[in-house]
Amino acid sequence: MTNQRVHVVAHVEALPDKLEELKAVLLGLIEPTRQERGAIKYELFQNQSQPTDFTFIEEWESDEALNTHLASPHLQAAAAALAGLTAAPPDIRRYYLVA
């Protein structure tokens, strides 16, 4: 399974009064992450009916590439910046294509 592509759905919920601050942190992840080796897709979505709800949809070449991303300086800095901006810890889930 280590050579199989990995799909990630990462959900982040902003505190209502921290919406724009959180959005700025999340937007700051897009370009450096898209430049990472093994990144196939890295897109950020904002819920139309609940604007505090953000979701990243990601695709990585492998678990190794994703793990490298998770340890990257820009992601670590963003994770530290989330303190006080989110309603709950991020919900990050990894998936493999079944069919």
pLDDT of 29 over the 60 cut: yes
Q: What percent of the chain has pLDDT over 90?
A: 94
What's the pLDDT at 84? 95
Global pTM? 0.92
CA torsion, ordered 77, 2, 98, 45, to nearest 10 deg: 10
Candidate CATH numbers 3.30.70.100, 3.40.50.11140, 3.40.50.150, 3.30.70.260; the one for domain 17-90: 3.30.70.100
Q: What is the pLDDT of residues 67-96, one digit of tens each?
A: 999 999 999 999 999 999 999 999 999 999
Range 38-62 average pLDDT: 98
Range 9-37 average pLDDT: 98
What's the pLDDT at 3? 67
What does the domain layout of the chain look like in residue ranges? 17-90
